[in-house]
Amino acid sequence: MTGPPNEETHPMTDHASASRRSVGMLLPEETFRRVFGQVDLQRLESHPALRLLADRPLRIDAQDAALLSEVEILVTGWGSPVLDAALLDEMPALRAIAHSAGTVRTLVTDEVYRRGIAVSSSASVNAIPVAEFTVALIVLGAKRAFWAAQRLREGAAEIDLEGSWPAVGIRSRTVGIIGASSVGRLVIERLRAFDLDVVLADPTLTPAQARELGVALVPLPELMERSDIISLHAPLLPSTSRMIDRELLRRMRPGTTFVNTARGELVDQDALADRLDDGDVTALLDVAEEEPLPLGSRLRTHPHAFLTPHIAGSVGTELGRLSAHAVDEVISFATTGTFAEEISASTFSLRA
């Protein structure tokens, strides 16, 4: 008669679990419910290289302290806490962070990189709906669709589109792209389907690199002067804060449409409102320096500004891309030791 199996003979020993990477999620419950569906949770639970510590977000408290100490791969998202030294001390086994959203700038600190922790984000897939929304705004802006809809709402019996805006329509127009970011590149790619010219301003690119994208590289002041439609896609960095200033806005010629689906802080908001007061340019804005935009903001009620409440990024059915990508990255790190889309310490300072 044999006794109970010991650690050396039991088929499910700690040795088997030790070969798997422990995964924990640290994000608000609301974000977890919105972004992570059963399919992707099942992928985390069933993958042989992973050990999901809990099928819920972990809490930073005594109850979950033991689980936090085991986390090797951390999944984060919108609203996750800042990963400072104190919090990282709670996760001594942490080796990698897979962020199920775009920017990691409000999440990752220098301490993360000092400890050799790998970082990934889902910015590449979040860029897809932003680019789609941006192209839609460019086309609708070229057609003066928002202006026409407003006139109808105000009771106009007829709309003289061409009389009011002689340069109307998308064909043969010049679109200026500011920033060859992930979104900027996708917008350029999608604009190839249209009969128009695209120019690009980006100080990090060479003319040869711009030609590879199929666009002409021009200085930013020149782009502001020659573009019919300007679309902003620069990263928000200390060096780019309010980069679109009063002088650049004054360079926009009559009839220009200015599109911002990037960050409101990239633009001098007061200077933009002043330029709109001239009555000959239009702004299509999905972002603002302060969100939600204060009720007293001039832009909120300006007749030449058309606003949406930061909806260009992933919403609704698009959120599944974020969770799927984050899980892909978790599996990549667990099986290969690297992320497919790792954000290195050197590139972190250049990203939005």
Tell me: the pLDDT tens digits for 250-270?
Answer: 999 999 999 999 999 999 999
Same domain, 225 and 285: yes
pLDDT, residue 352, reads 56
The pLDDT mean for the chain works out to 93
Q: What value does the CA radius of gyration of the chain take, rounded to a whole number of Å?
A: 24
217 - beta bridge partners?
200
pLDDT digits (tens, 9 = 90+) for 205-218: 999 999 999 999 99
Q: What is the CATH number of the domain that holds 120?
A: 3.40.50.720
Which active-site residues does the annotation give? 263, 291, 310
Query: b/e per residue, 168-195, with b = 16+ CB within 10 A?
Result: bebeebbbbbbbbbbbbbbbbebbeebe
Domain that holds residue 226: 170-307
Whose tokens are 């993958």? That residue is 47
Q: 259 lies in a domain?
A: yes
Q: How much of the chain, in percent, has pLDDT values that exceed 90? A: 88
Q: Do 174 and 303 belong to one domain?
A: yes
Number of domains in the chain: 2
pLDDT tens digits, one per residue of 272-320: 999 999 999 999 999 999 999 999 999 999 999 999 999 999 999 999 9
Does the residue 256 lie in any domain?
yes
* Ranges under pLDDT 70 in the chain: 1-18, 351-352
Is residue 160 one of the residues assigned to a domain?
Answer: no
To the nearest 10 degrees (0 to 180), the angle between helices 38-46 and 319-336 is 10
pTM, two decimal places = 0.90
